Amino acid sequence: MAGSGIWNNFLAFFEEAGDLFLFTGRFFREVFKPPFEFRELLRQCYQMGNKSLLLVGVTGFILGLVFTLQSRPTLMQFGAESWMPSMVSISIVREIGPVIIALICAGKIGSGIGAELGSMRVTEQIDAMEVSGTNPFKYLVVTRIVATTLMLPLLVIIGDAIALFGSAIIENLKGEVSFLLYFNQVFDALTFADLIPATIKTFFFGFAIGLVGCYKGYNCSKGTVGVGEASNEAVVYTSMLLFVIDFIAVFVADILYG
Amino acid sequence: MMNASQEIQPILEIKDLKKSFGDKHVLNGFNLKLFEGENLVVMGKSGSGKSVMVKCLVGLMQADSGIIRIKEQDIEILGRSELDLLRTHIGFLFQGSALYDSMTVRENLEFPLRRHKKKLQMKENTETLVREALKNVGLEHTLDLMPSELSGGMQRRVALARALILKPEIILYDEPTTGLDPITSKEIIQLMRSIQDTYNTSSLIITHDVDCARVISNRMILLVDGINYAEGTFQELSSSDDPQVKAFFKN
């Protein structure tokens, strides 16, 4: 009995993965085909980018503060406080910044997309769009996926910068390191090998957030319960996918940059 | 009003339409012809396949077999862009209104216009068309309101205005009076009649509201077990001795 339950879950997982794969294929077929919905794309970029800025800023700032506060005593034990700006900047830019901000955005943007499209599906708004001679996949899905793909790298860059600023404040207060010295050390420590792979992977993070949110919302059923499920699953699936993408990105970067 | 006649080419035709969901056969060879200027009512119990039929009609659902012809074009063989163009000749009033809730009333009405105004060679100004459509449903003052600020009846009227904005030749009504109080239902029915006069459209009305059918229909089809169980005018069907037909008009 339990065995058949596991087997059914296993089959359901592959069925869902197959559907998601087909959905991705449809996205790539539609994204380059006119007409292009520039107006809606700009609106989505504004909604996702501008309206997530405060959340990303606060998260980044606290991340920088806490990370520096927590790391300081350990580095002091080894007499290595002067390494703090280098260590914090590399950790934040390479890994912690992109992953934490992507997870925050999965919660805010991914669940929002899942809930919005899900409710449009169950209230027949997507059908109404189709009947009015508009391709709803292009208008709703393509624009949202492109917007998240473009906006997430920007949000991560801004979040990273604010996190480093937060870290600089702690260093300034506790270690009497000037802002100029702190950021000089940061820019000395960071190389393109840190920045480029980290930025490239955020495009994939953004794509994953938009894709899973849209997939869950667009295929929503079962009424209002389904909308809740779509929103919830969008966050859970995206979070898992982000870690998988992160692992692959780190693995590839390690091969390329040693 | 034009009478249905076999010599005249129907503007919309369904032949032997079949649709199943697993083992459940919803439509078992349904047939329908809608003629120009006609109000055809399809009645049936809940779950009899009325909404499935109308969704197949506009390509929202794929039929298992059968022919659907609109304005002499077989919709099964049309490509995406041709189907979209054909859809501009069809207005669709959804059961739950289906207004885009992130847009104002004005934006809801502008949405189809922005896409198809040029294609349809409509020369009038967008603002004029939006105001005219809202005026025809008596809701000119709601232009900048959000759908959530409107009552159920008002939402249905705005949805009707949106369905009419491209001046379609055919209007499909899916349960136009469901969920409305009797007074608002009567207002919607009167509105449907006045729209018929103003725009000279052909209407296919899916309903189980006998009052609606009585007021609006030129001809009726009773859909039972996925087939055309009975056809005729309201008077003919309401005076039928058939127990299944009688059951519809009993209340």
Mean pLDDT within A140-146: 96
Mean pLDDT within B39-65: 89
Residues A14 and A112 in one domain: no
pLDDT at residue B23, rounded to an integer? 87
Report whether B222 contacts B233 (CB < 8 A): no
Report whether A177 contacts A171 (CB < 8 A): yes
Q: Exposed, middle or buried: residue B204 (CB in 10 Å: 0-12, 13-18, 19+)? A: buried
pLDDT at residue A144, rounded to an integer? 97
Residues A106 and A20 in one domain: no
pLDDT at residue B5, rounded to an integer? 47
Nearest in space to A82 (alpha carbons), one of A188, A203, A158, A210: A188
Residue with tokens 């393109």, as numbered in its chain: A192
Mean pLDDT within A192-201: 91
**What ipTM score was computed for the predicted complex, to two decimals?**
0.87
Mean pLDDT within A219-226: 86
Mean pLDDT within B170-176: 91
Chains A and B form CB pairs within 8 A to the count of 54
B92 contacts on A by Cβ (under 8 Å)? 128, 131-132
Nearest-CA distance from B85 to chain A in Å? 6
Overall size of chain A counted in residues: 258
pLDDT at residue B115, rounded to an integer? 81
Residues A70 and A175 in one domain: yes
A131 contacts on B by Cβ (under 8 Å)? 58, 60, 87, 90, 92
Report whether B11 contacts B204 (CB < 8 A): no
Mean pLDDT within A137-148: 96
* Closest CB from A116, A128, A134 relative to B94: A128
| Residue of chain A with shortest Cα separation from B93 | A128
Report whether B10 contacts B40 (CB < 8 A): no
pLDDT in tens, A96-131: 999 999 999 999 999 999 999 999 999 999 999 999
Contact B94 A132 (CB under 8 A): no
User: Does B141 have pLDDT greater than 50?
Assistant: yes
Contact A124 B96 (CB under 8 A): yes
Mean pLDDT within B202-217: 89
Judged by phi (left if over 0) then psi (alpha if -120 to 50, else beta), residue B201 lies in beta
Confidence of residue B66 (pLDDT cuts 50, 70, 90): very high
Percent of chain A scoring above 70 in pLDDT: 98
What is the C-alpha to C-alpha distance for residues B172 and B83, in angstroms, rounded to an integer?
16
User: Does B242 have pLDDT greater than 80?
Assistant: yes
The per-residue pLDDT of chain B, averaged, comes to 88
Residues A27 and A48 in one domain: no
pLDDT in tens, A2-47: 667 888 888 888 998 999 999 999 999 999 988 888 999 999 999 9
Q: In sequence order, which ranges of A37-142 are alpha helices (DSSP H)?
A: 38-49, 53-77, 84-91, 97-105, 111-122, 125-131, 136
Contact B98 A135 (CB under 8 A): no
User: Does A79 have pLDDT greater than 70?
Assistant: yes
Contact A127 B98 (CB under 8 A): yes
Mean pLDDT within A229-243: 93
* Closest CB from B55, B87, B101 relative to A133: B87
User: Does B251 have pLDDT greater than 80?
Assistant: no
Around B44, how many Cα atoms within 13 Å sit in the side-chain half-sphere?
27
Residues A143 and A20 in one domain: no
Nearest in space to A152 (alpha carbons), one of A196, A202, A112: A202
Nearest in space to A113 (alpha carbons), one of A25, A47, A59: A47
Report whether A214 contacts A137 (CB < 8 A): no
pTM across the whole model? 0.88
Nearest in space to B210 (alpha carbons), one of B171, B238, B242, B191: B238
B12-21 and B24-34 strand pairing = antiparallel
User: Does B3 have pLDDT greater than 60?
Assistant: no
Residue-number span of the structural domain to which A191 is assigned: 39-257
Which of A101-115, A180-194, A209-223, B72-86 is predicted with the least confidence, judged by mean pLDDT?
Answer: B72-86
What is the C-alpha to C-alpha distance for residues B154 and B163, in angstroms, rounded to an integer?
14
CATH of B10-18+25-89+171-251 given 3.40.50.300, 1.10.357.10, 2.40.420.20, 3.40.640.10 = 3.40.50.300
Confidence of residue A1 (pLDDT cuts 50, 70, 90): low
B116 contacts on A by Cβ (under 8 Å)? 133
Report whether B164 contacts B171 (CB < 8 A): yes
pLDDT at residue A215, rounded to an integer? 96
pLDDT at residue B159, rounded to an integer? 93
Residues A134 and A212 in one domain: yes
Contact A127 B100 (CB under 8 A): no
B80 contacts on A by Cβ (under 8 Å)? 135
Confidence of residue B56 (pLDDT cuts 50, 70, 90): very high
Residue B58, number of CB atoms within 10 A of its CB: 20
Residues A63 and A175 in one domain: yes
> Cα–Cα–Cα angle for B136, B100, B40, nearest 5°?
50
pLDDT at residue B2, rounded to an integer? 47
Mean pLDDT within B11-38: 91
Residue A19, number of CB atoms within 10 A of its CB: 12
Tell me how many domains chain A contains: 2
- Report which of residues A139 and B123 the model is more confident about: A139
For B102, residues 6+ apart whose C-beta sits below 8 A from its C-beta are A116
Residues A129 and A79 in one domain: yes
Report whether B158 contacts B139 (CB < 8 A): yes
User: Does B131 have pLDDT greater than 70?
Assistant: yes
* Closest CB from A119, A123, A132 relative to B112: A132
Q: Where are the domains of chain B?
A: 10-18+25-89+171-251, 101-167
Mean pLDDT within B137-157: 91
Residue A17, number of CB atoms within 10 A of its CB: 10
User: Does B1 have pLDDT greater than 70?
Assistant: no
